[in-house]
Amino acid sequence: MKIKCISIDDEPLALQQIGAYIEKTPFLESVALCLSAFEALKYLANNENEVDLMFVDIDMPDLNGMDFVKSLTKKPQVIFTTAYSEYAMEGFQVDAIDYILKPISYAVFLKAANKAKTWFELNHKSAETIQTTSDCIFVKSEYKLIRILLSEIKYIESSNEYIQIHLTNDEPITTLIRLKVIEEQLPKDKFMRVHRSFIVNLDKVKMIERNRIVFDHNIYIPVGDQYREVFQAFIDKKFLI
């Protein structure tokens, strides 16, 4: 799994350098280069855009990197990049993984990137405990190993580092697993990812309205643009003229 990164810096050359460093690092993937915090806000506002890690310059006009990070309600992990050492303490107060000073060599960049890699591995290690059989999965939740029948799953919802597994006749189960990880464990003929934040049990889809899947209790799950073609192909196969 690659860590999806965006870089934010109002200096084009500095931005290009960080982007090049990301592309050079095997476990990182550059998904966006932003010349301002406002560009980054626009990118993050699109729920289809997955971001795990941000490289953020602090000293930027209009909205500086520190205030930008503090403004986010849903925060990817952060590595601050700046020419000014006086911001270091404040950077760690907002739980930044690292704080690196310009000019940035690749060796310094890689050291910070490896810290991020270690953080992601530690926080996602519970995903390794997923066990599957032909009709159920086992997941860890609140220090317990819970057996969940696949036929009981309505849909799965991502929330930051956690997912909620919504069931037909029980309370949702919350577990520290990335949506992509559980997606890979589920049978493709029964479950489909229809949005950055949702996987649905195709057998439970009863109604579709305006590119939304409608479950009971007025729950509407949007079908994202990048998933729409595959989902429509599934519907077309079942459609009776």
Mean pLDDT, residues 217-229 taken together: 88
Q: Domain 3-123, what fold?
A: Rossmann fold (3.40.50)
| 74: CB partners within 8 A, 6+ apart | 44, 160
What single-letter amino acid sits at 228?
R
Pairing of β 162-167 and β 173-175: antiparallel
Where are the CATH 3.40.50.2300 domain residues in the chain? 3-123
Question: Could you give the strand order of the β-sheet that contains 198-201, starting from the edge strand earlier in sequence?
Answer: 173-175, 162-167, 153-159, 198-201, 191-195
CA distances from 169 to 132, 151, 172, 188 (A): 21, 11, 9, 23
pLDDT at residue 128, as a whole number: 46
Mean residue pLDDT across the chain? 86
Which tens digit of pLDDT belongs to each residue from 114-153? 999 988 876 665 444 555 567 888 888 766 788 899 999 9
pLDDT band at 162 (very low <50, low <70, confident <90, very high): confident
Which tens digit of pLDDT belongs to each residue from 59-75? 898 888 889 998 888 78
Which tens digit of pLDDT belongs to each residue from 7-26? 999 999 999 999 999 999 99
The residues facing 99 across adjacent strands are: 80
Where are the CATH 2.40.50.1020 domain residues in the chain? 129-238
In this structure, whether the domain defined by 129-238 belongs to CATH 1.20.1250.20 is answered with no
What single-letter amino acid sits at 90?
E
